[in-house]
Amino acid sequence: MSSSQYVRFVTPLIHPWSGVESGFFQASWYLYRNGAPRWITDELSEQFDWYNRYLAVPDRIGRHFKRRRSIWGICWFDPKALEAIERARYCAWLIGEGGLPVRDIKARIAKEIIWRDSQQIVVKPMSDLPKAFA
């Protein structure tokens, strides 16, 4: 495990299942619903096309149990996923221009891993999770 910090791009919108600040992929609906300029949504669609081609969709984003509530994971970029992170910074800027602020948070991830690949990790939200919008 690398000692580098994982990065996540979040908005002030709270995700209904995980209870934490929504990531920029999940929150992008806000732009479409609130009438962001076409150049922003077009550019964001292009960026999302790249992610659809080069970033795997996690095949597991939660843990489900028979007798207790499900645990919904949250996604972080691996610090070595440089192109994905740079594109996420650009998406964050685009979404911000569309009226929804996006900030990055960083953390060392060492426990409660639900899924991982070489570019990203899905983990259980931690009580000490950094917050961008307090």
Determine the pLDDT at residue 2: 47
Q: Where are the domains of the chain?
A: 6-123
Among the listed residues 30, 7, 21, the one whose alpha carbon sits nearest the alpha carbon of residue 94: 30
Q: Which neighbouring-strand residues pair with 106?
A: 7
Distance between CA atoms of residues 94 and 110, nearest Å: 31
Average the pLDDT over 57-67 and give the result.
79
Per-residue confidence (pLDDT) for residue 44, from 0 to 100: 96
Interatomic CA distance for residues 5 and 12, integer angstroms: 21
Amino acid at the residue 128: D
* Percent with pLDDT over 70 in the chain: 98
pLDDT at 65 (0 to 100): 76
> Which pLDDT value is given to residue 1?
43
**Higher-confidence position of 127 and 101:** 101
- What pLDDT, on a 0 to 100 scale, did the predictor assign at position 128? 85
Q: Which helix (H) or strand (E) holds 22?
A: strand 21-23
In 3D space, the residue among 93, 112, 114, 111 whose CA is nearest the CA of residue 102 turns out to be: 93
- Report the pLDDT averaged over residues 9-31: 92
Highest mean pLDDT pick, 33-47, 56-70, 101-115: 33-47
